[in-house]
Amino acid sequence: MISFENISVSYAEGRAVKDVSARAEAGELIALVGPNGSGKSTLLKAIAGLIKHDGETSFPQSPNARARVISYLAQNSTAPTLRKVKDIVALGRSPYLGPLLKLSQRDKDAVKKAAEACGTIALFDRAFGTLSGGEKMRVHLSRALATETQVLLADEPITALDPYYQISVMTILRQSANEGKTIITALHDLRFAKRFADRIWVMHNGRLVQDESSETALSPGVLHEVFRITPDGQTIS
Amino acid sequence: MSLRVWSVLLLLGCLLSMSVSLFVGPASLSFGDVISALQNRASEPVNTVIRDIRFPRAALAAVVGAGLGASGAALQGFTRNPLAAPGLLGFSACAALGAVLAVYFNANAWITPAAIGLSLVGAFAMTLFSRRKPGATGLVLAGIGIGALATAITGLVMNLAPNPWALSELVYWLMGSLKNADAADLAIAGPLTGIGVSMLCLSGPALRVLGLGEETAQSLGVSVGRTQGLIVIGCALCIGAGVAVAGAIGFVGLFIPHILRFLTRADEAWLIPLSALGGASFLVVIDTLIRATSGPGTPLYLGIVTSLIGVPFFLWLAWRQS
């Protein structure tokens, strides 16, 4: 479960997120949609505790304690090109490791389970730099799942992927939600939002303007006012 | 071969090169002489050559090389930039300014504290300027700016040198050398570099996670500001102490971590200690070769030789990355 109230984030140019309050239950997959610059990424970073914000969240304030509750998958995630995939996935266990960085059996089991869920075990001995874009994203997702947090925040995880990996990554997120995780993922593709999410949060000009089930959230009015498109896919000038 | 085995090999390589260096120099000494001198049982001149000249010089070469190697590995890891090195980020320039000011004011006894002091002042300034947003970009910008300022002031001090002899002393000092190394230098540089390298090694686990990007690392509980603080102070201690006793020695901090990066697969938790051992071995070998090949009247300067080796490597790196 995740809840936050009156989250606001201000930059020098003005407020990027304005008084956003919401709640997501365990087992829910929330699609966070909105036009470019609507505040989706900023809201996710604020919830993850990565940027200063006003308002309240239901998470621990200490970075290490929070890292055991929320995983964050950054937009344009990266990793050293020489590093082996298994070592990158194991970094998801960092919040649990002692100073000697030794993985316990529980850590190894978590890494294996996350890699199995994402189909990355076959890539374990490959260097990260040799992977395709889709494989890299699945490795990052494995790393995020390996932390075994209650909540996963993913910032546009499928934006740069081909259709196969888009569906593959969304399916993994859906399965993780089915297993009890709370997942909030920023998406640009409204069809994926509708197909995979339980609920859709629509951001517009820094505000959360719609919070409904994926069946009803993207009404003609929302498409018109927020996305400037018609239900049959025409742009509105 | 595992990284533990490589660590042992590099340590043995460092100890071996230090041992060999004890036999190299103008005075020809036998194996027995060197062993006796190490036990303080040789004749007075032999004791002096080994205990007061050759051993401190070899040990200082190892200490300075270890500090340079570890600093380069940590800076490259933190900035995620393969071209980052103590020389490029202003640490060496700040320490050199401190030492040059001490030489300019004819206060040679103050060279060491001035170099370490200015290096720490530079580190403090870098932290201050990147305070609003600690991280790679802030540190690189602040480091390059502060380094450029320190280099400009060093140039001004040389410009205002009261006479040609003072100027030549400054120029020769900046070329980097261990020819005047003694036990007192070792007593200062050794512990400071030890503390600095330990701080850099402590940053290794955080750097391993920072390879995933600052936001991801933060989300995994890593404090970017604390890691930057450990690295900046650790580098300031290593580079300040190194410049104080050996002058400006370039490029070791750039290419030693690069060579070892492939071995460690860019895992800073291993790369930093291995770079310390690699830097130590490299500088001892180069200094020993310089002593073996230089005539008494024309000593080669350590900083020049490391740059002559390092610059082609740097250009190769830039070419390969482009």
* Lowest mean pLDDT across A224-228, B34-38, B72-76: B34-38
A212 has which bridge partners?
A: A200
Nearest to B99 by CA among B86, B115, B116, B87: B115
Cβ within 8 Å, pair B205-A45: no
Query: How many whole angstroms separate alpha carbon A90 and alpha carbon B80?
Result: 20
- Given B208, B213, B221, which is nearest A77 (Cβ)? B213
Query: How many whole angstroms separate alpha carbon B224 and alpha carbon B230?
Result: 10
| Pair of tokens at residue B262 | 């492939």
Whether residue B166 is predicted with pLDDT greater than 80 in this model: the reply is no
Cβ within 8 Å, pair A71-B221: no
Type of residue numbered A118? C
Per cent of chain B over pLDDT 70 is: 98
Nearest to A147 by CA among A168, A174, A117, A122: A117
Confidence of residue B30 (pLDDT cuts 50, 70, 90): confident
Cβ within 8 Å, pair B220-A95: yes
Query: How many whole angstroms separate alpha carbon A199 and alpha carbon A214?
Result: 5
Cβ within 8 Å, pair B215-A45: yes
At residue A90, the pLDDT reads 97
Provide the domain limits for residue B107. 3-29+55-321
Helix ranges restricted to H, A49-201: 63-67, 85-90, 105-118, 133-146, 163-178, 190-196
Query: How many whole angstroms separate alpha carbon A150 and alpha carbon A1?
Result: 7
Query: How many whole angstroms separate alpha carbon B170 and alpha carbon B190?
Result: 24
At residue B322, the pLDDT reads 63
Q: Three-state SS across B262-300? A: HHHCCCHHHHHHHHHHHHHHHHHHHHHHHHHHCCCCCCC
Residue B167 covered by a domain:
yes
Nearest to B152 by CA among B237, B79, B93: B93
Contact B276, B256 (CB under 8 A): no
Rounded to the nearest angstrom, the minimum Cα separation between A74 and chain B is 6
Which value does ipTM take for this structure? 0.92
CATH number at residue B294: 1.10.3470.10
At residue A178, the pLDDT reads 97
The continuous run of DSSP H or E covering A25 comes out as: none
Q: What CATH superfamily is the domain A1-69+150-160+176-237?
A: P-loop containing nucleotide triphosphate hydrolases (3.40.50.300)
- Given B80, B215, B219, which is nearest A67 (Cβ)? B219
Rounded to the nearest angstrom, the minimum Cα separation between B311 and chain A is 24
A57 has which bridge partners?
A: A4
Dihedral Cα B159, B161, B164, B169, nearest 10 deg: -100
Tell me the pLDDT tens digit for each residue of A77-134: 899 999 999 999 999 999 999 877 889 999 999 999 999 999 999 999 999 999 999 9
Query: How many whole angstroms separate alpha carbon B272 and alpha carbon B204?
Result: 7
Largest Cα–Cα separation, chain A? 59
Query: How many whole angstroms separate alpha carbon B23 and alpha carbon B32?
Result: 11
Domain count, chain B: 1
Whether residue A39 is predicted with pLDDT greater than 90 in this model: the reply is yes
Q: Which residue has the tokens 């200082």?
A: B60
Mean predicted lDDT score pLDDT of chain B: 89
Tell me the pLDDT tens digit for each residue of B144-164: 999 999 999 999 998 888 788
B143 has which bridge partners?
A: none
Residue B38 covered by a domain:
no
Contact A24, A182 (CB under 8 A): yes
For chains A and B, CB pairs below 8 A equal: 73
Contacts of residue A27, defined as CB under 8 A and 6 or more positions apart, other chains included, come to A177, A178, A179, A180, A181, A182
Nearest CA in chain B to A42: B215
* Lowest mean pLDDT across A179-193, B173-187, B289-303: B289-303
Confidence of residue B109 (pLDDT cuts 50, 70, 90): confident
Contact A47, A70 (CB under 8 A): yes
Tell me the pLDDT tens digit for each residue of B252-310: 998 899 889 888 988 999 999 999 999 999 999 999 998 888 766 667 888 889 988 88
CATH 3.40.50.300 range(s) for chain A read: 1-69+150-160+176-237
Whether residue B321 is predicted with pLDDT greater than 70 in this model: the reply is no
Nearest to B211 by CA among A171, A140, A134: A140
At residue B296, the pLDDT reads 67
Coil, strand or helix at B87: coil
Nearest CA in chain B to A48: B219
Query: How many whole angstroms separate alpha carbon B241 and alpha carbon B223?
Result: 27
Residue B41 covered by a domain:
no
The continuous run of DSSP H or E covering A207 comes out as: strand A207-213
Q: What is the mean pLDDT of residues A166-189?
A: 96
Q: What is the DSSP string of A72-93?
A: EE-TT----TTSBHHHHHHGGG
Contacts of residue B196, defined as CB under 8 A and 6 or more positions apart, other chains included, come to B67, B70, B71, B233, B234, B235, B236, B237, B238, B241
In degrees, rounded to 5, the angle at the alpha carbon of residue B275 between the alpha carbons of residues B274 and B278 is 85
Query: How many whole angstroms separate alpha carbon B242 and alpha carbon B238?
Result: 6
Query: How many whole angstroms separate alpha carbon B56 and alpha carbon B129?
Result: 38
Q: Considering only CB atoms, which chain B residues are within 8 Å of A91?
A: 208-209, 212, 220
Contact B101, B157 (CB under 8 A): yes
Tell me the pLDDT tens digit for each residue of A133-172: 999 999 999 999 999 999 999 999 998 889 999 999 999 9
Residue B272 covered by a domain:
yes
| Pair of tokens at residue B113 | 């504290």
Q: Considering only CB atoms, which chain A residues are within 8 Å of B222?
A: 63, 94
Confidence of residue B2 (pLDDT cuts 50, 70, 90): confident
CA atoms within 13 A on the CB side of A118: 29
Nearest to B6 by CA among B314, B284, B265: B265
| Pair of tokens at residue B125 | 């300034």
Contacts of residue B63, defined as CB under 8 A and 6 or more positions apart, other chains included, come to B186, B189, B190, B193, B241, B242, B280
